[in-house]
Chain A
Amino acid sequence: KAGVTQTPRYLIKTRGQQVTLSCSPISGHRSVSWYQQTPGQGLQFLFEYFSETQRNKGNFPGRFSGRQFSNSRSEMNVSTLELGDSALYLCASRKQGLSTDTQYFGPGTRLTVL
């Protein structure tokens, strides 16, 4: 069974630009969550999607947004990029949206903002 896939793996952007990251969950998994990992703040929750609906959102500015498609694939978008947005963005999927499910992570997208 294929794992969680994320594209692209690496991305370099300049301040002020916007970026879209993509995540394909494990087959049969309907919940997708996004996390940001930085050396200073560690791993922080961004948002969770289930059945194309955002169920939960972390403490991030409105520049960070996301969506989920009917096939459970998810995208996150960051507009007006800032230097501090440089991070590893990790996507995780879990099955059926049950509260007891384990989250399985993808390889991440490493975003560098210059």
Chain B
Amino acid sequence: AQKITQTQPGMFVQEKEAVTLDCTYDTSDPSYGLFWYKQPSSGEMIFLIYQGSYDQQNATEGRYSLNFQKARKSANLVISASQLGDSAMYFCAMRELIIQGAQKLVFGQGTRLTINP
């Protein structure tokens, strides 16, 4: 079974600093996808970034980048120049493929990020 581990329950960072949120995963499937989602206090899960297991380069989306180390089975999210609006829960998730194109996401426990002014 696939498993996602996020070891940082909470992180506190000063505004404008860079922050790295850790994520390690375990799977026996050679083809997999890793996602990061942001969940503000409102509850909505906001998609941030995606990394496929066969992607040659680390994914980037604006201030978000993914430090993908396949051999170490880690997919850490890096947020550059943090802003107050980045304060939220962050979830790492792995796509588990089922037959006939069905899929489900397996989530980690999340990291609560707080940006201090």
Contacts and interface: CB of A to CB of B under 8 A. Distances in A.
A50 B52 contact: no
Contacts, number: 64
Interface string A81-114: 0000000101010000111111111111010000
Interface in A68-88: 88
Given A33-B105, A102-B50, 10 more contacts: A35-B105, A55-B101, A56-B102, A56-B104, A99-B97, A103-B35, A103-B47, A104-B47, A108-B43, A108-B45
Given A42-B107, A56-B102, A99-B103, A105 B97 contact: no
Contacts of A108: 43-45
Interface of B: 33, 35, 37, 42-47, 50, 52, 91, 93, 95, 97-98, 100-110
Nearest to A106: B44
DSSP majority for the A interface?
Answer: strand
B105 A100 contact: no
Interface of A: 33, 35, 42-43, 45, 48, 50, 55-56, 58, 88, 90, 92, 97-108, 110
B37 to A, nearest CB: 7
B41 to A, nearest CB: 11
B44 to A, nearest CB: 4
A29 to B, nearest CB: 13
A20 to B, nearest CB: 19
